Structure 1
């Protein structure tokens, strides 16, 4: 997938970009999978999937904590499976995970380190996967529960898509905590009518849980898209401490603070929370549609009033029916994944307003066609692949062009090229060719026909050599 960088200004946070491209339309440009890229839009690492029927989601860098040894290490994590996307899948509500998905944890050498699955008949859900300091994983799991939906305006022989927060010990694989949405929240409060079940195999997506966060007070923050609500939950008692938004909100809203169809609710310092406010579409009961934007709210515990602290709008205006995230960066910037709109952006922390959408925009990228990513992140990452670099070569008009690449290496800054008449008689023909994008083309007068490349770091040290190749 080749992206278009539309804005690139000084002041962005360090790190690479992490997305998991896929599409809900008929045509995918490129392949689904997990992609790390640099600020110029060049791929650094790509792990393609074999079919557009498979998707990755929530691809990011996390820290794995080993509860037995106390050691920790940076890892890559993501969900992999199939998402119910009509018309391919109509057995479940759109965006629900099909059975069979799981979470992957890869180490910094791009080796599979762990897989994690849901328990008790639930399916691993693409919306959230968090590694904790306790050596556990917190994630969303979902399953269909048969139910007579007539009291809610749906079919008699219907079902509800239930969501559960699950926590698994990574060392043992055992379930250590769970919190079930259906046991605590009345589905009658949903903004999605139960009659919608007729288009998804009789299954009503009343909740659509899409994010989990936790703080050091033993509280969970969960976002329920189809309730238009965010809930603060006590881990110890399982009780809902407060609800923000929805039909039974414990808070009132100042101007521009109300949200709809939201994603990615996160605790922020100082009685604040952030989210991605989709703001559209299919608003019921004449609710006004609003532009999608990143949103940080102040929550006054005394007055139970929510006010806008910061907001992050896009120019041109975007209206994302689903998905999206607002990531806090270490330097105070905010990174916005625009969900069902094919963009991701970075803003200086002060943000902007609906009337000043270009203010504080530092970085903006558009993905091709209808390609999207459920979330987008900027993370720091050092990748040292367990496999060697790749080389290819061809000769024409008295010279050779050698092509060098190393999928996933973040330390390669240049290439050294060797050539010779046989694989055991190679000598250096190009000592230092600066890396230029994912694949570097190096021209040499040597006709080989055997060639090899060596990856060099910033100090000129050889990281690793490719296999020897022959011109074709």
Structure 2
């Protein structure tokens, strides 16, 4: 037995002062940070999974420099785990020993042990950022559309292809300097919230109901904060949270993992000696962190670190010899659960896909990159990829950029969406279908491949501001281009019923010769089929006509010059679903 192991066991017994439950009889549980993690956050909680709160038993936590740590235990909302929240932070660069009398820990060897260790890293102050980003300002797009009832210029949308067989789901995207947008399949605006800097805008399910989700960066006082947001069908924020354990919330991933949990990724900069890789002694390096967050409690249910699991020399990025920003050697951009419960990760800068043991954090296999365990099938070569997903039918999908930008070599002539199969025993892959854009798009950054419920495939082309739907044969059914000064990270097609409050109904009226003209819109609404107008004196409004909804903004002519108007929204069943505020002739009411 090693000196370290002997010391650890002696320490454990002396702390608890009671006999251990024999390892063969003890329950094995998972713990995070996982055994052997080298750069945990000094403000980390210690999470235990696979154990009910009352079955955890005594836990002792000791830092090699900070000493013993008291704290409190909080249960995870699913009843299958707890987190220990230390009363004080750990020190930078210290070893932490976690001990349990009743339980042993996964990842501590064949003879599972009652204790394990991890280490904290040398953390760089949060003033370091990989690429400083300021919040959006609702920037004017190069080509835009204006509305009488909406004061912002809206990026133009051009439907280049629309064929039978395409879905009727709405299209969701979010140009960075403009804000989240929803449009219908004719290119009509449904929803626009300018001034929000967000990514990964889409429909997901939360507590059994459809919601909108995104990552957002915003100015909070004198600082810039990053967090994840969930909105209900009324466009009301019902949940905001951030990555756990002190990590900065990263914009690349926010995927609901269950009814009330989410996969997110965070990052923090640590100092590392990269001389063995041709770099500097003190190099700021980004540790990419994947987490599952319990949204009810905010506790961390699972955590994985790139540093310590993936060596620096697996990167395709040049090792820095001059420090200008933290070194992003890994660039985690998607997190997915495989059918066996283990985790699937995509790392753009390693040009590889990873399967990770959820309980221990250890890598099960690598696909592509410098240390691939797989024989890559014909037509399957990919690089600088995004959005690694397991589909419901057992296939897998990615978006293959094939290029990494101006400072990295181009690997392919065209980007593509890929559907493929994996034989995990034989370590082989087989291409099912590739999806290329008819104009030969090569996307240097971002992008996604979404398999729709009917088997069609929706591809977002990242920095090329284009979204395309294909049938299973690869035929283009729908193609959309939008005008914006910056890109959208991902592009999705989903059904959505938006029901904003009636206070959001906007009305503009004006004199038009011997009659009046009224414009009405309801930003975010998807239900109105007909607009009815009441007109007259403010206290004596009467029916003055109605017309079918016409896209985002509908125009209604009214005889004469009434003093006031009220607009009423009616759904396809004839039900009144919203009434505007009173609008006086010549005013804009919103």
TM-score range normalised by the length of the shorter chain: 0.7 to 0.9
1:363 — aligned with what?
478
Deviation at 1:116, TM superposition (A): 1.0
C-alpha distance in 2 between matches for 1:456 and 1:288? 53
C-alpha distance after superposition, 1:389-427 (max 9, x if no partner) = 221101121111101111111101110011002x11100
Alignment match, 1:153: 278
Taking the TM superposition and a 5 Å limit, the aligned residue runs for 1:183-262 are: 183-195=308-320, 198=323, 200-201=324-325, 203-262=326-385
Instruction: Report if the CA contact (8 A) 2:405-2:445 is conserved.
Output: no
Distance 1:248 1:17, change over 3 A: same
How far is 1:134 from its partner?
4.8
Specify whether residues 234 and 270 from structure 1 end up closer, same or farther in structure 2 by C-alpha distance, changes over 3 A only: farther
Alpha-carbon distance change, 283 to 44 in structure 1, aligned in 2, over 3 angstroms: closer
**Higher RCO structure, 1 or 2 (CA under 8 Å, sep 6+):** 1
Deviation at 1:193, TM superposition (A): 1.1
Cα drift, residue 307 of structure 1: 2.3
Partner of 2:496: 381
**CA–CA separation in structure 2 for the residues paired with 1:111 and 1:285:** 42
Q: Does the C-alpha gap of structure 1 residues 140 and 190 become closer, same or farther in structure 2, counting only changes over 3 Å? A: same
Specify the SS of the correspondent of 1:194.
coil
Contact 2:502–2:578 (CA under 8 A) maintained in structure 1: no
SS at match of 1:413: strand
Structure 1, residues 288-317: CA drift from partner, whole Å, max 9, x if none? 433101011222234322221111000111
Q: How big is the shift at 1:371?
A: 3.8
Q: Map 1:332-347; keep pairs closer than 5 Å.
A: 332-347=455-470
SS at match of 1:100: strand
8 Å Cα contact 2:230/2:239 also seen in 1: yes
Equivalent residue runs for 1:270-349 within 5 Å:
272-281=395-404, 288-349=411-472
Equivalent residues, number: 428
Cα-to-partner distance string for 1:16-58 (whole Å, 9 max, x where unaligned): 1111112xxxxxxxx5211111011111111111xxxx62100
Report the equivalent of 1:418.
534
Residue 270 to residue 461, structure 1, CA distance change in 2 (3 Å): closer
Task: Tell me the CA shift for residue 382 of structure 1.
Answer: 0.9
The offset of 1:284, in angstroms, is 9.2
Q: Of 20, 38, 43, which aligns to 2:189?
A: 43
Q: Tell me, in whole angstroms, the C-alpha distance in 2 between the residues paired with 1:197 and 1:107.
A: 46
Alpha-carbon distance between aligned partners in 1 of 2:554 and 2:259, rounded to the nearest angstrom? 43
Alignment partner for residue 172 of structure 2, among 3, 9, 18?
A: 18
2:212 alignment partner in structure 1: 76
Q: Which of residues 451, 457, 468 in structure 1 aligns to 2:571?
A: 457
Picking from 15, 33, 56, the partner of 2:179 is 33
- Once residues 272 and 99 of structure 1 are traced to their aligned partners in structure 2, the CA distance between those partners, rounded to angstroms, is 39
CA separation of 1:285 and 1:170: change in aligned 2, threshold 3 A: closer
Aligned equivalent of 1:2: 156
Alpha-carbon spacing, 1:243–1:464, altered in 2? closer, same or farther (3 Å): same
| 1:124–1:402 distance in 2 versus 1, CA, 3 Å | same
User: For the Cα contact (< 8 Å) 2:388–2:397, is it kept in 1?
Assistant: yes
Residue of structure 1 equivalent to 2:264: 139
Note the C-alpha offset of 1:270: 5.6
Q: Distance in 2 between matches of 1:446 and 1:73?
A: 46
**Partners of 1:33 and 1:284 in 2: how far apart?**
28
1:210: how far off? 0.2
Q: 1:447 aligns with which of 561, 564, 587?
A: 561
Unaligned 5+ segments in structure 1 are: 23-30, 66-71, 84-97, 352-359
Aligned counterparts of 2:335 and 2:267: Cα–Cα separation in 1: 14
- Counterpart secondary structure, 2:258: coil
Structure 1 residue 244: Cα displacement: 0.6
Which stretch shows the higher mean deviation, 152-161 or 182-191?
152-161
Q: CA deviation at 1:271?
A: 5.1
Which residue in the other structure is 2:18 paired with?
none
Deviations 1:89-145 (A, max 9, x none): xxxxxxxxx962000100111111000111222110111111222511110111111
Q: Bigger radius of gyration, 1 or 2?
A: 2
Distance apart, 1:258 and its partner CA = 1.0
Q: Name the residue aligned to 1:470.
A: 584
> What is the CA-CA distance between 1:285 and the residue it aligns to?
9.7
Q: Aligned equivalents of 1:459 and 1:134: distance in 2? A: 32
TM-score (norm 2): 0.70
Matching of residue 399 in structure 1 with residue 515 in structure 2 = yes
Root mean square deviation, CA, Å? 2.0
Pick one of 184, 187, 204 that aligns with 1:62: 204
Q: 1:169 to 1:197 in 2, by over 3 A?
A: farther
Q: Residues 57 and 288 from structure 1, CA distance in 2 versus in 1: closer, same or farther, beyond 3 angstroms?
A: closer
Distance 1:463 1:55, change over 3 A: same
